[in-house]
Amino acid sequence: MCGIVGYSGRAAAAPLVFAGLKRLEYRGYDSVGIATLDGNNIQIIKKQGKVSSLENFVDGLSGNTGIGHTRWATHGKPSDINAHPHACGKFAVVHNGIIENYAELKARYFPDISFTSRTDSEIIVRLLDKFYSGNLLQTLKEVSSLLKGSYAVLVICADFNGFAVMKYKSPVIIGGGRGESFAASDAPALAGLCKKISVLEDGDFAIVSAHRIKIYDNNLNPVVRQKIINHATAASLDLNGCAHYMQKEILENPTAVENTVKAFSRVQGKLKEVFTDINRVIITGCGTAYNSGLVAKRYIESFARIPAEAEIAGEFRYKNPVITSGTAVIAISQSGETADTVEAAKLAKSLGAKVIAVTNAPYSALTLISDVVVPVAAGHEICVAATKSYTGQIAALYLTAKLLASFNKKSAVRLMKNAKAEICSVVPLLKSTVAHTDIEALAQVCARADGVYFLGRDIDYAVALEGSLKLKEITYIQSEGYPAGELKHGTLALIDENKTAVVIITDEGLSVKCENAVEQVLSRKGKVAVITNVKECAERLKDEVPVIEIPACPKELSPLLSAAAVQLLAYKTAIILDRNPDQPRNLAKSVTVE
C-alpha cells in the first residue's frame, strides 16, 4: 500500500525523491520520510503527515543517492517514530508490505534490544545490520530467506554508492539512463524521468548505482527483465483545471470507455482461445472490482447462458473452490497488485482454471500469472476512490461476455462489431452525464443524513453497491447498498427522518417494483431520491421525490451512466462536508497487503 522511491545519479537526490513521493501519495499519506547517502553518511528526515510536511526540510539533505517512503500504516500508528526510513548501523531501509513473522524474528535474534519503532519493518534493517559482513548482495539474500509476508524494500548501505532492492509480492519497477537510475512502487513516480522501465519479479534483487543496474534472481544468478515503455507522463498527472483528481477522473470516464473498447481488439483472438471449452465462470475481485464483477455475472449469464459466480477475492482464496478444466476465473484489479485477488488467481490457476486478468495495469503481479489480460485502458488513476477504472472495467467485461456468447455462431464477427458499436454509442451519453447531471441538491441531503441506503434491482443493485462504497469511502457517512426487494426484510427498521434512500431505476420492466421501495421509505418518514433513465418512472415520481434523470440507453449498458451519477453524488457530498475526496482517511489506492 505504501509508496517507495529510490534515486542514484548526478543530481541532488532529495528533491527528486520528494517529487516522486508526491506522485505516489495515493498509495498512503499518514507519514513520510527520505534518507540520503552523502559519502558514507546517511541522513534521514521523517514526519507524521502528508508528503508536503517534508517540503521545508528537503534542501537540508545532501547526497546523490536517496530513498523515500509515503506510508499507509499497518503495524504501528502514524507517528514520526514509526515513519520510514528505518536505520541501524550502516543501513537505512524503506518497505512496502507486511513482515508477518517480525515478532518471531525479533524474539529470536534481538531478545534484549528495544526497537525504536512499533513497526514490522524495523526488523529488516536490524537483520541487515546483524548479518552484514561486507557483501551487500549476499546479506540481502540471507535476510530475505528469513522473512515471511510481502515486501518491496529499498536499501541504502554506507559502504555502497547507490541503493539495493529486494522484492516479494509487492511491486517494484526500476529504470534509468544517462547517469541516473530510479526505482519506485509505480510508474507515476517516474513520469518524465524514465522512458522505459523493468518490472522486478518475486524473489528478485537489484543493485542500483548511477551508471548501472544489475538484477539477480533468488539464487543470485544475474537475470535480464524485459524493458517496457513507461506510459506515465508528467502531463497525465496534471489536474487540467479541476479542483481534485476525483473530479478530473469522473470527467475522463468517456475516454476510459472509448480507449478500453479500442484496446479490447488487441486481445480478442487470445481471449477466444482461452475461452474454448469453458462451461463455467467465476469472477473475483475486491471492493470496486468485486462490484464490477457482479455486473459481469449478469452479463455472462444473460448473453452466454453460462453459469457465473461473483466471489470476493479475500473469501474465495480461503475456501475449497470447485474448479475443473472447464472453469474460467476472471480476476479484476485496478492495480493488478491487489494481494487477495492475486492470491485468488494463483489458487484458481493451481487447480486447473484458465485465468483472465481484467486490469488497468499492463504490468503487474496479476498479469504475470494470467493466461490472458483484458486491458482496462483508463490511464493512471490517482484518486483513491475508483471512478474511471470502474467504467473501464464495465466496458471490458461487457465485451468479454459478448465474446463468450459469440462462440459457435456464424455471425460471431458481426456480433462483436455490434457490441463495440453499442458501447461507443453510449459514450456521448456518458459525456452528457458527467458534464450536466445536477446532483447538488441530493448531495446536500446526503451530507445531512445519518445514513444513506442505495437501492436497486438486478443490475441496478450492483451499481447501488458501488454507489454506497463511493459515498462511505470519501464522505465517511454510514452507507449500505441493498436489493430494493430486501428493504422490507429488516432494513426498514433503520429508516427514519434522518435517513436517505437513493433508488436507482434503469430497467423499465422493474421500475414499478422499485417504485414500491420508494413508497415504503416515504411512509416511514425517510427521505428518497431517484436516479433513473426510465421516462415513465420519472413522470410518476417527479411530484413526490427529487428525480435525477440520466440519458436513456440499453439497460445492460446503464451502469456506465448510473455509476457516473453516483460518483458525482459522492464527490459533491464530500466537498460539502469539506472532505478531501482524493485522499480519504485510513485508505490507500493499491491494497498490496492482506
Residue with the three cell numbers 451519453: 429
Q: What is the pLDDT of residues 119-129, one digit of tens each?
A: 999 999 999 99
Domains belonging to the chain, first-starting first, are: 3-237 (3.60.20.10), 245-406 (3.40.50.10490), 440-576 (3.40.50.10490)
Check residue 192 and give its pLDDT: 83
For the chain, the first-to-last Cα distance in angstroms comes to 10
DSSP annotation of 169 reads: B
Cell numbers for 353:
482454471
CB 561 within 8 A of CB 450: no
Average pLDDT over residues 379-396: 94
CB 34 within 8 A of CB 17: yes
Kindly name the residue from 50, 297, 470, 589 that is annotated as catalytic.
Answer: 589
Average pLDDT over residues 54-83: 90
Average pLDDT over residues 470-497: 89
Cis peptide preceding 85, ω within 30 of 0: yes
Q: Per mean pLDDT, which of 70-74, 142-146, 539-543 is the most reliable?
A: 142-146
Kindly indicate the confidence band of residue 286, based on its pLDDT and cuts at 50, 70 and 90.
very high
Residue with the three cell numbers 517480525: 102
CB 485 within 8 A of CB 425: no
Angle between helices 412-436 and 558-576 (to 10 degrees): 20
DSSP annotation of 491 reads: G
CB 369 within 8 A of CB 349: yes
Which of 352, 336, 432 is closest to 389 using CA atoms?
A: 336
DSSP annotation of 226 reads: P
Q: Does residue 236 surpass a pLDDT of 70?
A: no
Check residue 489 and give its pLDDT: 85
- Mark out the alpha helices in 6-135 (DSSP H runs): 13-23, 102-109, 122-131
Kindly name the residue from 2, 88, 157, 537 that is annotated as catalytic.
Answer: 2
Average pLDDT over residues 221-250: 87
Kindly indicate the confidence band of residue 496, based on its pLDDT and cuts at 50, 70 and 90.
confident
Q: What angle do CA 31, 6, 113 make, to 5 degrees?
A: 60
CB 282 within 8 A of CB 301: no
Check residue 592 and give its pLDDT: 60
Strands (E), 39-162: 41-48, 65-71, 86-88, 91-99, 149-157
Average pLDDT over residues 2-8: 93
How far is 179 from 51, CA to CA, in rounded Å? 27
Q: What is the pLDDT of residues 414-434, one digit of tens each?
A: 999 999 999 999 999 999 999
Q: What is the pLDDT of residues 167-190, one digit of tens each?
A: 999 989 999 878 999 999 988 888
Would residue 2 show up in a list of annotated catalytic residues for this protein? Answer: yes
> Which pTM was predicted?
0.89
Would residue 242 show up in a list of annotated catalytic residues for this protein? Answer: no
Cell numbers for 236:
497525465
Q: Does residue 468 surpass a pLDDT of 80?
A: yes
Kindly indicate the confidence band of residue 234, based on its pLDDT and cuts at 50, 70 and 90.
low
Helix (H, G, I), strand (E, B) or coil at 154: strand
Question: Considering the chain, what percentage of its residues have pLDDT values greater than 70?
Answer: 98
Check residue 1 and give its pLDDT: 66
Q: Does residue 514 surpass a pLDDT of 90?
A: no
Q: Does residue 486 surpass a pLDDT of 70?
A: yes
Lowest mean pLDDT among 109-113, 247-251, 440-444, 484-488: 484-488
Residue with the three cell numbers 454506497: 468
Kindly indicate the confidence band of residue 590, based on its pLDDT and cuts at 50, 70 and 90.
low
Cell numbers for 226:
524485459
- Determine how many CB atoms are found less than 10 A away from the CB of residue 36: 27
Kindly indicate the confidence band of residue 594, based on its pLDDT and cuts at 50, 70 and 90.
low
What is the secondary structure of 525-550 as a DSSP string?
T-EEEEEE--HHHHHHHTTTS-EEE-
Which of 123, 58, 47 is closest to 83 using CA atoms?
A: 47
Average pLDDT over residues 256-279: 95
